[in-house]
Structure 1
Amino acid sequence: MEHSNNYYLNNPLIHRDRRLGLADSAWIKSFDCAHIRPLIICRGPIRKEAMDVFEEMGIGHYGILLSEKDSIVYQNALAPELRKLTDPNRVHRVPDYTGATKAEREERIRQIINIAQGNGYNAIYAGYGFMAEDETMVAAMEAAGLNFIGPCSRTVHDAGLKDEAKRTALKVGVSVTPGVDNATALTLLKKYPDEAALRDVIATQALTVDSAKFDSAEVSLADKADMVLAASYDKGIDLYTIAELSETIREQVMVMSRDYPENRIRLKAIGGGGGKGQRILASPAAYEGELESRIEQAAAKAPELVLEILNEVKTTGVGDNKNVLVELNIETTRHQEIQVIGNGEWALALGGRDCSLQMHEQKLLEVSVITEDLEQALATAEQAGNEAEAKVLRQDLITLKKMEEESEIFGRAVGLDSVSTFECIVDRDKHFFMEMNTRIQVEHRVTELCYALRFTNPDEPHESFVVHSLVEAMVLLAAHGPRLPKPTRVLRHTASVEARLNATNQALQPHAGGMIEKWSDAIAGEIRDDQGISLHNPDTDVFMKYHLAGAYDSNIALLLSVGENRRQTYERMAEILRVTQLRGKDLATNLEFHYGLVNWFLGNNINARPTTRFIVPYLTAVGLLKQAANNQDLPYAYQQLCAHAVADAPTAQQAELQSVLARKQLLITRPIAMLLESPHILAGWVSVHKCHALLQDQRVVWQINPVQLLADTYTFLNMDYRAGRPAANMIWDHDHEILTQALAFYSQLEDTLGERDYRALDTLLQGDAPSDFSAETWAHIQAAHRGYQAGMDILALPMFLACETDFFDLCVNEDLTITIPDRLTETALQSAMAKVLVPPPQAKSDEILAASGGMFYAREAPDRPPFVTVGSEFNAGDPLYIVEVMKMFNKVNAPFAGTIDEILVPDDGAIIKKGQPLFKITPAEKIEFESPETITARRRERTDVFLASIKG
């Protein structure tokens, strides 16, 4: 079984060599890493993974750094890794990982160095979080004599800062996104417009710059401005204000919008990542008026967003580099990235990953993109005669190879000496370099499950060793980098996929504070990285509760599967998600979302090419499904169906039919009720079963036996009968008996009649007895058929809702693009459907409740006034407060107009819970609520429309 962090099969080098018969190889032994004593300063699944890999490498002395932020605020939120690492001398604590200000970050770096030096650690492992890409931290570790397991400070500077990376990419011929990467330099040059003025600044502020370089005629004025800015950051002073920078960015947005009036503009902090520090401005096309007026309106939002960005990445302090990139937002973007590894001299690409399925820049489902899988998919498409699909796959092969080539060129240019990720956006046959993440990525497993690395002795080709783990590769590079020969990649699996299991609600909004009380064990083929949360008590074998705190990101676990092709990988992931049971108090996760989404692709085309714009329209379509489901009265529908069926039956059969329908009611309606209650599972169900339905003007004609469909639905809902299982979680035993009898009846009938097609079988059963059946026997068979099919019309309800809401209009085209209906992109509808998926807390008419848990802020920045005070009048859509949930800042707007009477939250930084009263208010108008009678009437009216479609 492959699960938790125990997937790695690579034991310490010596042990691996013994299996290969190379135990006496001096060359292989020379790469032993037992002398590395790392301090792990990251959290989440990567921390537990690093612990496991270090032990498997023979590294016995390692420690972990814990933030007290979680455990102080929440009970039962201690790092689950402590269930494994029980030596208190190897567990070290700091208030939090990074600090809120530059001074706090510098203090934290000093603390980490002191902890390492005082406890015998000689290396630092930062994983993919917090300061993993912080050039200042990496440089400080290097200066302190600590071995940083990751790219060196030079690489972090040249590749990790987004503005520097774009300039390097341009120099070496790598395609980049159109935009402005030097807004801070432009701001400085507005104040000091020539070289003489810059020299005055240097002298006045006593800045240290490289005089020879500054004096060179070959260095542009903009580059000289950057040199002055770098010196000011080193000294810890500001040469421009945030307001001045914001005005420059506003001007640049206007310039770019004139060239691309139909595109949105992306603003991105140079030190952001993981979705932080990015905002997208609406395009001028979203506004009214003449073009220039629309451009001004669009750009006017830039200063506000710049401040949000800088606050989110915590670079508002004096001396912080506040540069923000202004980039064209390519609307048909597919987000792809190339895993690249290097030792400072060589660089090697390890295939790609498609990370387009994301929301708010947070990745959700990540899929491998490698040559072998694309070639296999291309051959299949060509054999099937799908030329449109084959054309796309051919281009994807060309694009992948070009991105891999450019990643290696860029890696060598920045002296990459560890593992990093070369990120690109792909627009049909074009691609653009976006940034390089100079750290291991959350989704690195997607790559390492496809490719291993073989290191071969250049002098003795028979001597080699294979590395399966990128974490292990990072350690090897940190310990022996210059000596490591360029490896070759070894195919492990042709395809892999990763689902990020996050603490989010049904609308994928962060949900903090839930308690995990039960998590089913991993199944065969499931690869689960969960930070150790699902480890049982070693003495009692009981699951230990874990509180998901809200101080950091929302990720709970990474679920992965592999296969011989993408379809097999998706099918295995669907099975993992189907059987996973995750329960707890106030617990909300995106488990059901992933199950629905994976089945959407299985029901459409697993080779589909979604863009980064796909998820929100998809959620909107799911919300419309849920809204329609909410307007159905299932018990009433079944009652009406039964009444019509009984009325249409011969008088002599009516009593028996009524009895049969009553016995079958919960057998049939119970799973349908569960589908209607769970919108994401409903979306997945209709997606995989639309191939079984003939849809004619909202009338559903099944091409599959409804009895088999009902059995499949119980399986889809993970409600299969298993003795000893709680009745609430499976089909009830008496219903199971009825269903089993029905399946056996049809199986025997199909064998006897030699007919497997249900429509043909049903037609036979409507006619006279075949020659080898007596009239009496055939009458009994027909009666049994009518009995088993009685009431099954209700199974059409979920498919009817999909037709009614045009759910299938969101579909995959022949060329693998996805049609997104215009209505699903409307902001108002998207917002409304998010509220359908997650209804806001029920509030009194004189109060506003917290929409989610998290950390409350009354103002946009510490030096800004609060959004509202007692007596403030507000309109619908006005900002009321900011809540920080799982590291993301979310501005919450007023749902209606009113006046603030009382503020119930004591101060900024207070922890709030979903549904907690925040403000006492006087609404500007009376809020109307629907009566129960009105709701019932509306639901029955919509249910009657469904019933009419069945009769139709």
Structure 2
Amino acid sequence: MSNEHYLRNPLIHRDRRLGRRHTDWVSQFDCSHLRPLIICRGPIRKEAMDVFKEMGIEHFGILLSEKDSIVYQNALAPELRTMADPGHIHRVPDYTGSNKEERDQRIAQIISIARDNDYNAIFAGYGFMAEDESMVAAMERAGLNFIGPCSRTVHDAGLKDEAKRTALKAGVSVTPGIDNGTALTLLEKHPTVADLKALCQQHDLAVDEAALDDAEQSLEDKADLVLAASYGKGIDLYTVDELCATLTRAVEKMASEYPENRIRLKAISGGGGKGQRILGIGEAARTAELVREILNEVKTTGVGDNKNVLVELNIETTRHQEIQVIGNGDWCITMGGRDCSLQMHEQKLLEVSVTVESLRAAIAQAEASGNETETRILKQDLATLESMEDQAERFGAAVGLDSVSTFECIVDRDKHFFMEMNTRIQVEHRVTELCYALRFANPENPDESFVVESLVEAMVLLAAHGDKLPRPERIPRHNDSVEARLNATNQALQPSAGGVIEFWSDAVEGEIRDDQGISLHNPDTDTFMKYTLAGAYDSNIALLLTVGETRLDTYERMAETIRRTRMRGKDLATNLEFHYGLVNWFIGQNINARPTTRFIVPYLTAVGELKEQANGMDLDYAWSEVSKAALKGLGEAATGALSRALELKRTLLLRPLQRMLEEPHILSGWLSINRDCYTLIDGRISWNENPIELLADTYHFLNMDYVPGAAASSMIWDHDNDLLQEALDFYGELNNRLEADDWIALQTLLAQPEPAAGFSDTSWQQVRAAHLGFQAGADILAVLPSIAEATGYYALAVNPDLSIHIPERLLDDELQERMAKVLVPPPVAKSDEILAESGGMFYGRESPQHELYVREGDHFEAGDPLYIVEVMKMFNKVYAPFSGTIDKVLVEDDGVIISKGQPLFKITPDEKIVVQSPEEIAARRRELTAGFLQQLL
């Protein structure tokens, strides 16, 4: 029996066990001598604290910024509830500073805190400075053990331009484009080696002259050496205007070579969606504008900052996949992949594991079902995964990877291209660690081993004992996992700053929730503590994960997790409903689908179309017409009885419908999994299953099941539940007594006046009357599929080859923008003002060096930029919805915090805005509803 040592075993909702079997070989990897300072925030900070404790690391501290103080009224961060020693909590004004000078000050401050408080290691997690080469190097010079890749690896792999060059040397496929815009800019002014030498002499730059004379070095590489020296000295050798001119020419050249592709601009120091912009076809003239936006966003506008921006071909059918890589500088291995294609504005939303085991199981299932097309595509996916893992391992070895990093690729059908390496742990790292563990075994005695199930723990082990760790074996844990990022965004997935979480239900069985400790109850009262969402940070609230033996199993568990999650708060907006709709869309379509990074916006647009139609639905009028139709042609006695039955059923039928008409993402999910519940025959909805059973399923889908003692607002009402259960019992008994294979067959039997076998004439007529009563009014459910039919919702579908068919209309920019406003209507403004569409920080210009977009007296056209709002670390430019003249600017200066709905400009519009009266709106809704009813009655 082997001496397996489980250093950490993540179980459901952070429940882990430690079962240590000490041997001399295992004991040498003890890490309790490390004394780390945690300089990150969010879920990763809480995770690091948990891991350190479980590893026996007792002396650790956390770094808080003053912006943390707004999340709790009586504490700075939820993790403080588990910190026994307040002396291990340290504070800085912010984590990174707004420019290079402040960033250097912050690094020095962190080093000082570490020295003064006896910390010998730094854990930076993800975000902020986790892959900042200068910070890592400073920590190393200070004698601190950086828990992550060393500064050399960060330089060679983390900077996007260096990484691309390394990839080419290692035989890794890369995206077409240029990675040396700054070097080309410098060579425009100093085109020869002699010129570069003169420049070095002029500015006293420390550049090895032998390197400049090296015939094997390209001129561009020599320019890069000069630039590196200038950054180290803190001087600029080119202007932003000159860089923009070089990049504009590069964009124009690439656009002429690839006229059907858009162009991506990407800062070398960007990440997490920041520092990237995409130029549309024919938009080369906007290059300078977007480059400046990028540099502002990644805060590299200071003197001496490296302002390099990559120009890359945007692969229009891109799937974004990444490979988890881990190494100790000697060996390097991979741990499978993750598909991160479901994203918007470069921000990932839903991340799914991609493993050899899962793909092989899916291939076997496709082969068994005789689906040759799906089999072929899945085999190609398997080959792509194996190729990416091979290239990731080679790249990791080339850069001497000595910790955990992520090799990111874009996949285009059967081709893949290296995009970048993130030299840090990823937000979605648990997607991988839930699929694979690592077994480290004694090379001289394989029975001595220990298993690591946490990538954070692996980082700690590598930092403490990297050179002694043998190459591990990866061990499958689960075939599949999926992560949904719960973000503070509105229904159109736009960041929503502020808001207070006042209640959040506990994690359910099968749910893995990483939430920075927000869900931890007050230890004295066992109650949920209110949490304020801080707009100073990104929009992430929590990471929700589930696992399974198949991808379908994993998605279904995620759907069940979200179904049972309840969250309430003040001014609270999250993407929880979006995830519920999206996960169910894939369950209803095909969970092996291959979405691209362009999928989410068209999907949102389709959901917006559902909402637009739902907004036009007058449910009370529809119920009135359905009731009239049910009573038509009946005798007086029957009419009275059925009328009373309809009145009793009104709330039973209308409450779930009203909820879905109000929440389009939930409606999207319902429509997706219930696509086969009806057939459209001659323009009318015909049910393929019993509407009563569908109604019961709908209450369950909405998490409105009857629970004694629960709030009436969140469940089916007791009298409605009694009526529903009576109907379900009735049809359950009928199904047992009648030979009917499905609902259509049962309806055919019940339509016959002659008694079915086993029934007397009297009892049969009673059964038919009861059936009529139970079904009366149920036609109202058809308003939901009728909305789908009216919008062409089901045209957005998975093709046989697992690609997704996106109707052309959903790619229209104007429709996308209009549907975003349907999902989240802009604040109601007077005709003479423009209001803030969201809260955040206001900027009236491109950068401090630029002119204001608009001043008092300026005329603006529809589509002209008016201001920039920074929300959750993302810069969003806001354009004029119509043309007019600025009468007064109501915001005093840049950097002012604004709130949603706040007046920003007093204006005079060019055209008078027409406002419909309530009567006109009601008449229009009734007319639209009447059109829907034609499919029902």
- Report % sequence identity: 68
1:277 equivalent among 275, 278, 285: 275
Q: Distance in 1 between matches of 2:635 and 2:271?
A: 70
Which amino acid counterpart does residue 281 of structure 2 have in structure 1? Answer: S
| SS of the residue 1:310 aligns to | helix
CA distance in 1, matches of 2:11, 2:682: 48
1:573 aligned to 2:558?
A: yes
Show the counterpart of 1:456: 441
Change in Cα spacing, 1:4 to 1:314, as seen in structure 2 (3 Å) is farther
Equivalent position SS for 1:402: helix
Match for 1:872 among 849, 858, 863? 858
Separation in 2 of the partners of 1:362 and 1:935?
37
- Cα distance, 1:220 vs structure 2: 0.7
For the residues of structure 2 that align with 1:72 and 1:524, how far apart are their CA atoms? 32
Residue 200 of structure 2 corresponds to which residue in structure 1? 202
- Paired position in structure 1 for 2:346: 361
- Name the structure 2 match of 1:237: 235
Letter in 2 for 1:791: G
- Whole-angstrom CA distance in 2 between matches of 1:205 and 1:900: 47
Kindly indicate whether residue 160 of structure 2 is the aligned counterpart of residue 162 of structure 1: yes
Q: Does 1:862 align with 2:848?
A: yes
Task: Measure the CA separation in 1 of the matches of 2:806 and 2:661.
Answer: 24
Aligned to 1:17: 20
The offset of 1:73, in angstroms, is 9.4
- For 1:268, which of 266, 269, 274 is the aligned residue? 266
Does the Cα contact within 8 Å between 1:4 and 1:529 map onto a contact in 2? Answer: no
* Secondary structure in structure 2 of the residue aligned to 1:691: helix
Q: Write the letter of the residue equivalent to 2:836.
A: A
Match of 2:481 in 1: 496
Please give the secondary structure, in 2, of the residue aligned with 1:929: coil
Matched, 1:372 2:372: no
Q: Residue 905 and residue 72 in structure 1: after superposition, are their counterparts in 2 closer, same or farther (change >3 A)?
A: farther
1:839-894 Cα distance to aligned partner (Å, 9 max, x none):
00111112111111111111111111211122222111111111110010001111
2:649 counterpart SS class: helix
The 2-side partners of 1:502 and 1:697 are apart by 43
Match of 1:602 among 587, 603, 609: 587
- Indicate if the aligned counterparts of 2:500 and 2:572 stay in contact, CA closer than 8 A: yes
Q: Residue 363 and residue 698 in structure 1: after superposition, are their counterparts in 2 closer, same or farther (change >3 A)?
A: farther
Residue type of the alignment partner of 1:623: G
Residues 864 and 880, structure 2, Cα contact 8 Å, conserved in 1:
yes
Tell which deviates more after alignment, 941-950 or 174-183: 941-950
Amino acid at match of 1:46: I
1:66 counterpart SS class: strand
After the TM superposition, which residues 658-697 of structure 1 pair with which residues of structure 2 at under 5 Å, given as runs?
658-696=643-681
State the shift of 1:8 in Å: 6.1
Structure 1 Cα separation of the partners of residues 75 and 843 of structure 2: 23
Cα deviation per residue 1:926-945 (whole Å; 9 max; x = unaligned)? 11111111111111111111
By how many angstroms is 1:77 displaced? 7.7
d(CA) in 2 for partners of 1:523, 1:891: 40
Matched residues, number: 928
**In structure 1, what is the Cα distance between the partners aligned to 2:909 and 2:253?**
42
Q: Secondary structure at the match of 1:17?
A: coil
Report if aligned partners of 1:373, 1:495 keep a CA contact under 8 Å in 2: yes
**Per the alignment, do residues 541 and 384 of structure 1 end up closer, same or farther by CA in structure 2, a change over 3 Å counting?**
same
C-alpha separation in 2, matches of 1:76 and 1:608: 47
Match of 1:471 in 2: 456
Q: Which of 755, 760, 763 is matched with 1:774 structurally?
A: 760
Q: Quote how far apart the aligned CAs of 1:346 are.
A: 0.6
Write out aligned runs for 1:64-463 (5 A): 64-71=62-69, 78-284=76-282, 298-463=283-448
Letter aligned with residue 229 of structure 2: A
Contact 2:72 2:530 in 1 (8 A): no
Cα drift, residue 341 of structure 1: 0.2
Q: 2:556 and 2:75 mapped to 1: Cα distance?
A: 34
Aligned-partner SS, 2:936:
helix
Deviations 1:250-306 (A, max 9, x none): 00001111110010000000000000000000013xxxxxxxxxxxxx210100000
Judged with a 3 Å threshold, the aligned counterparts in structure 2 of structure 1 residues 769 and 604 are, in CA distance, closer, same or farther, namely: same
Instruction: State the match for 2:518 in structure 1.
Output: 533
Secondary structure class of the residue paired with 2:446: coil
User: Which one-letter code corresponds to 2:695 in the other structure?
Assistant: L
SS in 2 for 1:307: helix
1:180 offset after TM fit, Å?
0.5
Once the 2 structures are TM-superposed, how far is the Cα of residue 696 of structure 1 from its aligned partner?
A: 3.3
How far apart in 1 are the matches of 2:704 and 2:13?
A: 29
**In 2, are the aligned partners of 1:5 and 1:48 still within 8 Å (CA)?**
no
For the residues of structure 2 that align with 1:386 and 1:70, how far apart are their CA atoms?
Answer: 53
From 500, 505, 508, give the equivalent of 2:493. Answer: 508
CA displacement, residues 897-936 of structure 1 (integer Å, 9 cap, x when unaligned): 2222222222211111111111222222211111111111
Whichever residue aligns with residue 828 of structure 1, its letter is: E
3-state SS of 2:186 partner: helix
Instruction: State the AA in 2 paired with 1:196.
Output: A
Answering whether residue 843 of structure 2 is matched by residue 836 of structure 1, we say no
- 1:715-730 alignment to 2 at 5 Å? 715-730=700-715
**1:924 aligned onto 2:924:** no
- Name the SS of the counterpart of 1:950 in structure 2: coil
Q: Of 10, 14, 17, which aligns to 1:7?
A: 14
Q: What's the CA shift string for 1:669-728, capped at 9, x where partnerless?
A: 110010100000000000000022213354221111100000000000000000000000
Shift of the alpha carbon at 1:646? 1.0
1:86 Cα shift? 4.3
**4+ runs deviating over 4 angstroms:** 2-6, 72-77
Q: CA deviation at 1:211?
A: 2.2
Three-state SS of the structure 1 residue aligned to 2:341 is strand
State the distance in 2 between where 1:335 and 1:356 align.
5
Letter in structure 1 aligned against 2:539:
S
> 1:808 and 2:794 equivalent?
yes
One-letter amino acid matched to 2:440: F
Residue 197 of structure 1 aligns to a residue in which SS?
A: helix
CA distance in 2, matches of 1:212, 1:533: 57
Letter in 2 for 1:9: R
2:810 matches 1:824:
yes
TM-score by length of 2: 0.98
| Residue 74 of structure 1: how far off its partner (Å) | 8.3
In the alignment, structure 1 segments of 5+ residues that lack a partner are: 285-297
Report the equivalent of 1:706.
691
Partner of 2:886: 900
Given that 2:70 and 2:534 are in contact with CA atoms closer than 8 Å, whether structure 1 keeps it comes out as no
Distance 1:60 1:866 in 2: 53
Question: Which residue in 2 is equivalent to 1:290?
Answer: none
Provide the C-alpha distance between the structure 2 equivalents of 1:7 and 1:27, rounded to a whole number of angstroms. 28
Query: Could you say what the CA RMSD is over the residues aligned between the two structures, in angstroms?
Result: 1.3
Question: Aligned partners of 2:779, 2:758: CA distance in 1, in Å?
Answer: 31
Aligned counterparts of 2:46 and 2:763: Cα–Cα separation in 1: 65
- Secondary structure of the 2:174 match is coil
Q: Which runs of 5+ in 2 are unaligned?
A: 1-8
Q: Deviation of residue 755 (structure 1)?
A: 2.4
Q: What secondary structure is seen at the aligned counterpart in 1 of 2:447?
A: coil
Match of 2:53 in 1: 55
Provide the residue aligned with 2:30 in structure 1.
Answer: 32
